Copies of this chain bind each other. A is one copy, B any other.
Amino acid sequence: MTTGPAAGCNAELGWGLSATMRAFGQWASASVADLPGGPRGHLVLATIAQGRPPSQLALANALGVDRTVMTYLLDELETAGLVERRPDPADRRARQILITQRGSSALREYSARLREVEDRLLAPLDEREATAFRSMIERVARAAQTSPDAGCPIDDIASGAGPC
C-alpha cells in the first residue's frame, strides 16, 4: 500500500515520459493485438500509405528500429497480405514497400482503434491542451530525430544509419 503515483519524481520529465509511454504501449498493444507487428506494424502501414514507397532502410530509420527488425516486421505484414515488396527499378538492391488494398482498409480500422486509445490517454487534458500537446510532442520528436547526437564520442553524425 501507500503505493501512489510516484511521490518524489513529480518534477521528473523522465518519469512522466516513461509512465506515459508505458501506459500507451500497453493500451495500444492490447488494442491492435491482432495486427501483425502490433502498434509498430500500424506505424509501418501509416508511413507507407503516404508519399513515395520507401525502402526498407528508410522505413527502419523513420520508425527508429534496426533494419533487421524491419525485415521481420515486413515479413509478417506481407504474409498477412497488408504490404507488398517490389524491387526498386532505380536500385536493384533496394525494395519499395507498398500498401495493399487490404492493408489500406486495415489501416483505417486500426487507426480508429488507436485514436480511441490516444483520446483515453489524453483524457486529463481539455481540448485546447490536447491539441497543443500533440503539436508539441510532434515538434520535439521531429527535432530529436533530426539531431541524433547522443553519447556518440567522435562518431559520424551525418551517416544517417543510426543514432551513433
**Which residues of A line the B interface, CB within 8 A?**
1-24, 26-31, 33, 39, 42-43, 46-52, 54, 57-58, 61-64, 114, 118, 121-125, 129, 132-134, 136-146, 148, 150-151, 160, 163
Contacts and interface: CB of A to CB of B under 8 A. Distances in A.
B8 A48 contact: yes
Contacts of A51: 7-8
B151 A124 contact: no
Contact of A61 (B3, B21, B24, B121): B3
A6 B125 contact: no
Contacts of A148: 23, 26
Contact of A62 (B3, B14, B129): B3
Contact of A17 (B1, B20, B163): B20
A43 to B, nearest CB: 6
B46 A9 contact: yes
